[in-house]
Amino acid sequence: MNSEEPSTPLVARLVRCPRCGGDSVYAASNPSRPFCSLRCKDIDFGDWSSESFRMPAPVTSADLEDAADTLPH
């Protein structure tokens, strides 16, 4: 943002909590946004930190070699 643009306040709107699916106020008044509560935010953080969520990666030739090594001969 450049200095010529006025800062616009965040307009409150109702969104779905990504953790529980309940209503969540998406505004500066909700420090846990986009989550509905600190509890949902903490549960989601715990899932990421315990690697319950993972980003998919393409299969490499090294992955295939590792898999082949684990198969019985």
* Residue 40 pLDDT: 97
State the amino acid at position 64 in one-letter form: L
**Domain count across the chain:** 1
Dihedral sign (CA 56, 49, 46, 17) = negative
Identify whether the C-beta of residue 17 lies closer than 8 Å to the C-beta of residue 25.
Answer: no
The closest of 17, 20, 19, 23 to 45, measured between CA atoms, is 19
* Residue 6 pLDDT: 53
CATH of the domain at 33: 3.30.50.10
State the amino acid at position 12 in one-letter form: A
Question: Each residue of 4-63: pLDDT tens digit?
Answer: 555 666 678 999 999 999 999 999 999 999 999 999 999 999 998 888 877 788 888 888
Instruction: Look at residue 36 and tell me if it is in a domain.
Output: yes
Containing domain of residue 24, as a range?
A: 13-54
Instruction: Look at residue 60 and tell me if it is in a domain.
Output: no
Instruction: Look at residue 1 and tell me if it is in a domain.
Output: no
Identify whether the C-beta of residue 18 lies closer than 8 Å to the C-beta of residue 35.
Answer: yes
Instruction: Look at residue 18 and tell me if it is in a domain.
Output: yes
**Token pair of 44, please?**
């989601």
* Residue 5 pLDDT: 54
Instruction: Look at residue 27 and tell me if it is in a domain.
Output: yes
